[in-house]
Amino acid sequence: MKYISRFLFNFLAFGLILSCTQPSQRIEVHPVELHPIYAMSRGTPRGPGLPFGVAEGLDTERVKASTVRVVFGEGNSTMISSGFFIANDKIATNIHVIADADLASLHVRTDNADWTIQGVTAFDTQNDLVILQISGPGVPLVLGNSDAVSSGETVFCVGYVGYPADRFNIMETTALSERLNGAWLRVTPNSPAGNSGGPVLNTEGEVIGINVAGNGPIGYAVGSNVLKGLLDRSGTVEPLAKWQQRDTIRAFSYLGQASSAFYNADYAGAIEAIDKFYTINPMHVGISMKYSNRGYAKILLGHSKFDKEAPEVAQQYYRAGIQDLDKAISITPTNTPAYAKRGYVKVLLGRAEFTKDNSEVAQQYYRAAIEDFDKAIGIYPKFPSYAERGAVKVALGILETNRGRITEAQQYYHAAIEDFDEAILYDQYDTYAYIIRGYTKICLADFEADKGNMEGARSLYESAVTDTDTESAIKLDTENPYAYHTLGVAKAKLDDYVGAVDDFNKTVSLKPDFAKAYHNRAIVKLLLGEKREAKADFKKAEELGLDIGK
């Protein structure tokens, strides 16, 4: 439901001049504006879940009868989350699910029944848990022993996919060895929006956790033993309206505000909301996520507001973000997403040095970024940082190319392709990995062409076309300007100038400020003898700030 981790945006920004191999020419390729590692990450398979009734070992009809929708609001403002019966007259869910719910429209129901919430019998702000007294009987699930969950064990995240789908969902996931502050289980992949408050079950159908949060491909579940203790402390019923007025409960609305702020690119607002929540609830188990999320908000604020107009200010935000990420890692040394985010910001710092011709410093940042991506992958080998790590290797290859160190550049490019292969193996829908793998193949092909190995070069150019054409990247995302741009370059290398112009036309129609696309289209138009049109494109590229001679 409403949580900090619920947002996604991604843009890939890199250009490609028609030659990758001329050290005398600054090849300002930016494959380094990487994907935020938040809830709906590129590399996280978050499909529709298992078809109903096929979760091996589960009585899915019973599970569905015991799992409830928690619904409030109307139309596009409808919010759907989950809960489940833990006693005949009690359900468990997350505090953030109902902390600011509109009581007039609040419903708890299954397909066959509807209940009234009579009030709260127990709650735990540290673990984002609440137990609700319900008006009528339901079918409780059995609470298992969360301490007995082992690394690699198959578990099932259960709940309702949010509005407008409102669909019961069982998603097979895997328990990881590390726990957050010893209390929250970590599972992967992360479950869909709407599962907040739903049960996490073992193959025996016992509850071993409660879905509570997510961070990239990692989902978090409060251990069932925490819930058992809370159930034992259940007392008199407190009216829901009165309970919602408690300061510690009202504070959970700040998590929703932070989530909305992230979604709307209001990163300053996200930082403010995060700080407000943790000021009121400093003992919340997700404290390492405070620093991870706040640090990432600082990075995105610097990048979105100051990167071009005031780069020094942007770098101040980047370094402040690193300080928060360092803190997150010190609290939870296995905080995989924090390593990935820290790697991302080091890439941004490296790019800033690259644009100032500080190649040595840029290289240091890039190598440090790779170390962080290595750490993320080392903690969890399926963590989707392969494409990001590959992109940094491409950036290092560009640095070596500009120095005339061709052998070293080729080594980086080949290593990058291995990472992109791994990314695609993990997620065959990773458009980004296809595009930049195609770009890298073009760079390698240019080296082969320079050596006179035209057959080898052609093979690589054709492979780049396959990566970006309708069989791969464009098939996955027909509106991605970078896919068309890379495809256009590959076609131009193969002497398909008309096809290349068509692709560059599509590129600038999707991204009118893509200076390098105009420049490359101008080159191809010259090859076609269209001098007047080429001159206009060169002028447009210059107006947009492209400096090829730099």
Can you tell me the mean pLDDT for 354-383? 92
Does some domain include residue 330? yes
For residue 136, the model assigns a pLDDT of 82
Least confident interval from 367-371, 521-525, 545-549: 545-549
Identify whether residues 215 and 312 lie together within a single domain.
no
For residue 170, the model assigns a pLDDT of 87
Identify whether residues 208 and 318 lie together within a single domain.
no
Identify whether residues 71 and 181 lie together within a single domain.
yes
For residue 548, the model assigns a pLDDT of 52
Non-local CB neighbours of 357 within 8 Å, separated by 6+ positions: none
Residue 451 CA to residue 449 CA, distance in Å, equals: 5
Domain with 321 in it: what CATH number? Answer: 1.25.40.10
Does some domain include residue 415? no
pLDDT in tens, 374-412: 999 998 887 778 999 999 999 999 999 989 999 999 999
pLDDT band at 162 (very low <50, low <70, confident <90, very high): low
Residue 123 CA to residue 128 CA, distance in Å, equals: 8
Identify whether residues 258 and 208 lie together within a single domain.
no
Helices (H), 307-385: 311-331, 336-355, 359-379
Spacing of C-alpha 356 from chain mean position: 29
Domain membership of residue 156 as a residue range:
60-244
Least confident interval from 20-34, 47-61, 174-188, 252-266: 20-34
**Comparison of pLDDT for 75 and 203, the residue scoring more:** 203
For residue 74, the model assigns a pLDDT of 76
* pTM for the whole structure: 0.82
pLDDT in tens, 462-506: 999 999 987 788 998 899 999 999 999 999 999 999 999 999 999
Tell me how far CA of residue 338 lies from CA of 256, 330, 396, 489, in angstroms.
Answer: 21, 10, 23, 36
For residue 251, the model assigns a pLDDT of 95
pLDDT band at 295 (very low <50, low <70, confident <90, very high): very high
Does some domain include residue 529? no
Amino acid at 421: D
For residue 166, the model assigns a pLDDT of 65
> Tokens 């589960």 map to which residue?
58
Q: In terms of C-beta density within 10 A (0-12 exposed, 13-18 middle, 19 or more buried), how is residue 377 classed? A: buried
High-pLDDT (> 90) share of the chain, %:
61
Identify whether residues 281 and 348 lie together within a single domain.
yes
Can you tell me the mean pLDDT for 257-281? 93
pLDDT band at 336 (very low <50, low <70, confident <90, very high): confident
Can you tell me the mean pLDDT for 450-455? 94
**Chosen domain end from 217, 244, 271:** 244
pLDDT band at 165 (very low <50, low <70, confident <90, very high): low
Identify whether residues 151 and 135 lie together within a single domain.
yes
Does some domain include residue 417? no
Residue 25 has pLDDT above 80, yes or no: no
pLDDT band at 370 (very low <50, low <70, confident <90, very high): very high
Can you tell me the mean pLDDT for 281-310? 88
Spacing of C-alpha 507 from chain mean position: 25
Identify whether residues 363 and 378 lie together within a single domain.
yes
> Tokens 């080091």 map to which residue?
346
pLDDT in tens, 99-147: 988 888 888 988 888 899 999 999 999 999 999 999 888 999 999 999 9
**Chosen domain end from 353, 384, 415:** 384
Identify whether residues 130 and 229 lie together within a single domain.
yes
Identify whether residues 145 and 127 lie together within a single domain.
yes
* The two structure tokens encoding residue 481: 């300007």
Residue 178 has pLDDT above 90, yes or no: no
pLDDT in tens, 501-535: 999 999 999 999 999 999 999 999 999 999 999 99
For residue 225, the model assigns a pLDDT of 95
Number of domains in the chain: 2
Residue 191 CA to residue 185 CA, distance in Å, equals: 13
Does some domain include residue 453? no
Residue 331 CA to residue 465 CA, distance in Å, equals: 45
Does some domain include residue 499? no
Residue 322 has pLDDT above 90, yes or no: yes
**Chosen domain end from 222, 244, 266:** 244
CB 141 within 8 A of CB 199: yes
Identify whether residues 76 and 146 lie together within a single domain.
yes
**Average pLDDT over the chain, rounded to whole?**
85
Domain with 156 in it: what CATH number? Answer: 2.40.10.120
Residue 26 has pLDDT above 50, yes or no: no
Residue 198 CA to residue 443 CA, distance in Å, equals: 48
For residue 5, the model assigns a pLDDT of 25
Long-range contacts of 190-193 (CB under 8 A, 24+ apart): 190/39, 190/41, 190/44, 190/46, 190/214, 190/215, 190/216, 190/217, 190/218, 190/219, 191/46, 191/157, 191/159, 191/219, 192/46, 192/49, 192/159, 192/161, 192/162, 193/1, 193/6, 193/39, 193/161, 193/162
Does some domain include residue 3? no
Residue 46 has pLDDT above 90, yes or no: no
Identify whether residues 258 and 161 lie together within a single domain.
no
Does some domain include residue 104? yes
Identify whether residues 103 and 195 lie together within a single domain.
yes
